[in-house]
Structure 1
Amino acid sequence: MSSNAEHTYRIGVVGPTDLVSLVKRVAALEFTDHLVVPLSYRNEAQAAEVVAARPDIDALLFTGVIPYTLAHTAGVVTKPAAYIDYTGATLYGALVELMSAGHDPARISIDTLARPLVVESLSHVGISTGDVATMEYRSGIDTRHLVEFHREHSRNRPGSVAITCVRSVYDLIREDGYAIRLAPAIASVRTALDTVTMELAGRISSDAQVALGMIELPAPDDRLADDIRALAGSLFPTGPSSYVLVSTRGVLAQHTCDWSVMPLLEQLAERHVWVRIGFGVGRSAADAESLARRAVERCRTAGPFTAIVSVGAGRDFVITETSPDPNRTEEPLSLHIAARRAGLSRATLLKLEAAVAARPDGEVTAGDIAAALGIEPRSARRTLKQLERSGLAQPVGTVAGGAGRPAVRYALRIDT
Structure 2
Amino acid sequence: MGPHDLVERVMLMGHAAAPLPCRLVAAAYRDEQEASDKVNRLGAGVDACLFASPVPYDLARRSGVLTMPATYVQLGGAALIAALARAALDERIDPRRVSVDVLSRADVEEAYADLGLPAGEVHSRDEPGATGTITAFHERLVRQGLSTGALTCLPAVADRLQAAGVPTIRIRPTSAAIRTALHTATLLGAHHRLEESQLTVILVEVPTLREPVRRAAPRHWRDELRLSLHRLLVQEANRINAAVTPVDDHSYMVTATRGSVATATEGFRVLPFAARVREELGLAVEVGVGMGRTAHDAEAHARAAMARTQAGKQAQGFAVDREGRALVPAPRMPPQGGGQLKPKGVEVLARLAAKLEGGDTVVDAESAGKMLGVTPRTARRLLRTLVDEGLAWPLPPNRTPQPGRPRQLYRLIVEKLGGH
Bin for the TM-score computed over the shorter chain: 0.5 to 0.7
Structure 1 residue 179: Cα displacement:
1.3
Structure 1 residue 274: Cα displacement:
9.4
Counterpart pick for 1:281 among 292, 300, 309: 292
RMSD: 4.2
Counterpart pick for 2:34 among 26, 38, 46: 46
Structure 1 residue 75: Cα displacement:
3.6
Structure 1 residue 78: Cα displacement:
2.3
The aligned residue for residue 329 of structure 1 is none
Is 1:151 the counterpart of 2:139? The answer is yes
1:99/1:317 CA distance change after superposition, 3 Å: closer
Is 1:111 the counterpart of 2:120? The answer is no
The aligned amino acid for 1:148 is A
Is 1:135 the counterpart of 2:143? The answer is no
The aligned residue for residue 59 of structure 2 is 70
1:133/1:302 CA distance change after superposition, 3 Å: closer
The aligned amino acid for 1:125 is L
Is 1:192 the counterpart of 2:181? The answer is yes
The aligned residue for residue 236 of structure 1 is 244
**Residue 236 of structure 1: SS of its match in structure 2?**
strand
Listed one character per residue, the Cα deviations across residues 212-270 of structure 1 (whole Å, up to 9, x for unaligned) are 233333236978959x89x9573625144211122324566899999xx98639x79x9
Mapping for residues 10-409 of structure 1, pairs under 5 Å: 14-31=1-18, 33-55=21-43, 56-101=45-90, 103-138=93-128, 141-157=129-145, 160-174=148-162, 176-218=165-207, 219=209, 234=242, 236=244, 238=246, 239-249=248-258, 264=271, 275=286, 277=288, 279-282=290-293, 287-289=294-296, 292=299, 296=303, 304-305=311-312, 309=320, 311=322, 316-317=324-325
The aligned amino acid for 1:202 is H
1:190/1:289 CA distance change after superposition, 3 Å: same
1:51/1:76 contact within 8 Å kept: yes
Inter-partner Cα distance in structure 1 for 2:81 and 2:306: 59
Inter-partner Cα distance in structure 2 for 1:40 and 1:216: 48
Listed one character per residue, the Cα deviations across residues 345-404 of structure 1 (whole Å, up to 9, x for unaligned) are xxxxxxxxxxxxxxxxxxxxxxxxxxxxxxxxxxxxxxxxxxxxxxxxxxxxxxxxxxxx
Listed one character per residue, the Cα deviations across residues 134-162 of structure 1 (whole Å, up to 9, x for unaligned) are 12232xx2121112111111122366121
The aligned amino acid for 1:23 is V
Higher mean alpha-carbon deviation, 157-166 vs 289-298, is at 289-298
1:182/1:297 CA distance change after superposition, 3 Å: closer
Seq. identity, %: 27
Listed one character per residue, the Cα deviations across residues 281-322 of structure 1 (whole Å, up to 9, x for unaligned) are 12xxxx3146515863897799645768473xxx64479xx9
1:245/1:163 CA distance change after superposition, 3 Å: same
The aligned amino acid for 2:242 is S
Inter-partner Cα distance in structure 2 for 1:166 and 1:177: 15
1:100/1:207 CA distance change after superposition, 3 Å: same
Question: Unaligned stretches of 5+ in structure 1?
Answer: 1-13, 325-416
1:233/1:245 contact within 8 Å kept: no
The aligned residue for residue 407 of structure 2 is none
Structure 1 residue 84: Cα displacement:
1.2
Inter-partner Cα distance in structure 2 for 1:189 and 1:129: 27
1:161/1:178 contact within 8 Å kept: yes
Inter-partner Cα distance in structure 2 for 1:294 and 1:169: 52
1:162/1:180 contact within 8 Å kept: yes
The aligned residue for residue 418 of structure 2 is none
**Residue 27 of structure 2: SS of its match in structure 1?**
strand
Structure with the larger strand share: 1
Structure with the larger helix share: 2
Listed one character per residue, the Cα deviations across residues 85-108 of structure 1 (whole Å, up to 9, x for unaligned) are 211111111112222445432111
Inter-partner Cα distance in structure 1 for 2:183 and 2:319: 35
The aligned amino acid for 1:246 is T
**Residue 75 of structure 2: SS of its match in structure 1?**
coil
Listed one character per residue, the Cα deviations across residues 148-207 of structure 1 (whole Å, up to 9, x for unaligned) are 111111122366121111111111212524210111111211121122112111111112
Give the number of aligned pairs: 297
Structure 1 residue 74: Cα displacement:
3.8
The aligned amino acid for 2:3 is P
Structure 1 residue 112: Cα displacement:
1.8
Query: TM-score under structure 2 normalisation?
Result: 0.58
Query: TM-score under structure 1 normalisation?
Result: 0.59
Inter-partner Cα distance in structure 2 for 1:35 and 1:66: 24
Q: With a CA cutoff of 8 Å and minimum separation of 6, indicate the structure with the bigger relative contact order.
A: 2
The aligned amino acid for 2:271 is L
Higher mean alpha-carbon deviation, 183-192 vs 173-182, is at 173-182
